[in-house]
Amino acid sequence: MAGIVEAIACDYDRTLTDESLVISKNAVASLRSARGAGIKVFIASGRRLPFLAGVNEEYDFVDGIIAENGAVIYNPNDGTEVLLGDGLDELKSAFLDAREDFIEVEQVIVATTIEHLDYVKEIIEKNQLSVDIELNRNDVMVMPKGVNKGSGVVKAAEMYGVNRENLACVGDAENDLGMFAVAGIKVAVANAVENVKRVADVVCSEPYGDGVAEFVRSLRRA
């Protein structure tokens, strides 16, 4: 493993949580210990900011939150919030006009599930939107062009003064590949999908939050 780890950016669903989306106390404790050793900790998730901020208020274990699949960066210490992407009003209004219950228009992105992907593509084409589509297992996210977990991680690293060569990103699914592309160290938990494991520098032997804790322990031995 090259370099000293300055920061860890960790996916939430099925990385910090188990399959039923219950957060791992083992992972939380390990990341708290990493912070105690001077390592910055970020959550990087497709979830909305209020949910992730609530998790951190309960457990107090992160320095920064990268929400909505990289589109929203939040510093819980001072309340600084940064939104990434162009054409946000056009993106949100196109899907608000559709008025479909299966589509969620969030602060920046639009989210639905895989069975509605064709409908989403119709809306994008009809409104000539310049966007990207990100998949996360069965979830579909419509993002401003060029925005993903990678761009969110890059912005967070810039805000917190982290050298990306010394940034470890931990994930399990396809939408984590964006942050893998910009990280110095790519870490897949044992339950990760195969194309994430294939590009990882480290594949944990443990799944979910236990895999996160396993990686943090390995830093203490390095």
Report CA-CA distances (Å) from 183 to 60, 74, 99, 107, 155: 24, 19, 38, 26, 12
Q: Which CATH number characterizes residue 79's domain?
A: 3.40.50.1000
Residue 18 within a domain: yes
Quote the pLDDT of residue 207: 98
Do 207 and 111 have their domain in common?
no
Beta-bridge partner residues of 169:
9, 186
Quote the pLDDT of residue 108: 92
Amino acid in position 144: P
Contact (Cβ atoms closer than 8 angstroms) between residue 180 and residue 196: yes
Amino acid in position 216: V
What's this model's pTM, rounded to 2 decimal places?
0.89
Quote the pLDDT of residue 149: 95
Residue 2 within a domain: no
Give me the mean pLDDT over the 161-185 stretch: 96
Looking at the predicted structure, is the pLDDT value of residue 36 above 70? yes
Residue 200 within a domain: yes
Quote the pLDDT of residue 1: 44
User: Positive or negative, the Cα torsion across 164, 86, 130, 139?
Assistant: positive
Q: How many structural domains does the chain have? A: 2
Do 209 and 157 have their domain in common?
yes
Quote the pLDDT of residue 100: 87
Do 134 and 112 have their domain in common?
yes
Quote the pLDDT of residue 136: 80
* In 59-194, beta strands by DSSP E: 64-67, 72-74, 81-83, 104-105, 110-113, 131-136, 139-144, 167-171, 185-188
Quote the pLDDT of residue 222: 60
Q: Which CATH number characterizes residue 117's domain?
A: 3.90.1070
**Which domain range does residue 45 map to?**
7-83+147-221
Do 70 and 103 have their domain in common?
no
Tell me the per-residue pLDDT of 49-92, one tens digit each, with 9 for 90 and over: 999 999 999 999 999 999 999 999 999 999 999 999 998 899 99
Q: What mean pLDDT value characterizes the chain?
A: 94
Q: How confident is the model at residue 2 (pLDDT cuts 50, 70, 90)?
A: very low
Tell me the per-residue pLDDT of 128-154, one tens digit each, with 9 for 90 and over: 999 999 888 788 999 999 999 999 999
Domain boundary pick from 144, 168, 190: 144
